[in-house]
A = this chain, B = another copy of it.
Amino acid sequence: MPTEREAAAFEAGIKLGALYHQFVGSPVSAETAESLEVAMEESISLQPHVRSVSVKIDREMLTKNVYGYGELSGKMIRALVEIDLDGAVVRAKLEYDPKIDYPLMSLLD
């Protein structure tokens, strides 16, 4: 049987996978990044066993196309989720890792 902490880690993974694949591709600019951050946070906060979600879109990574906007990509997202599954608390993050040029999801200690 999975432990409580394994189950909580699983839940944390679900939230980050959902956050990423629901919203990547959304048109975004420096002017609209905040409303997208708030929607992402509030939306994922509804999922089961979430204690908190914070999302930050990296403005410096926001490039502008010829029409003056960009698109949300995984590398722009810094997200932290905290899961509380019957007392088993687990935190995980999504953060661009420049060493491997990848939007890495990882459990925190």
Residues from chain B with a CB closer than 8 A to the CB of A16 are 13-14, 17
Could you list which residues of chain A lie within 8 angstroms of chain B, going by C-beta atoms? Answer: 1-3, 5-7, 9-29, 31-32, 35-36, 38-40, 42-48, 65-69, 71, 73-74, 90, 92, 100-102, 105-107, 109
A-B contacts, 5 listed (Cβ < 8 Å): A6-B107, A32-B46, A36-B39, A38-B38, A47-B69
Shortest distance in angstroms between A53's beta carbon and chain B's nearest beta carbon? 11
Q: A5-B6, A13-B14 are in contact. List 6 more A-B contacts (CB 8 A).
A: A1-B109, A2-B107, A32-B39, A35-B35, A38-B38, A66-B102
Partner of A68, one of B3, B22, B39, B46: B46
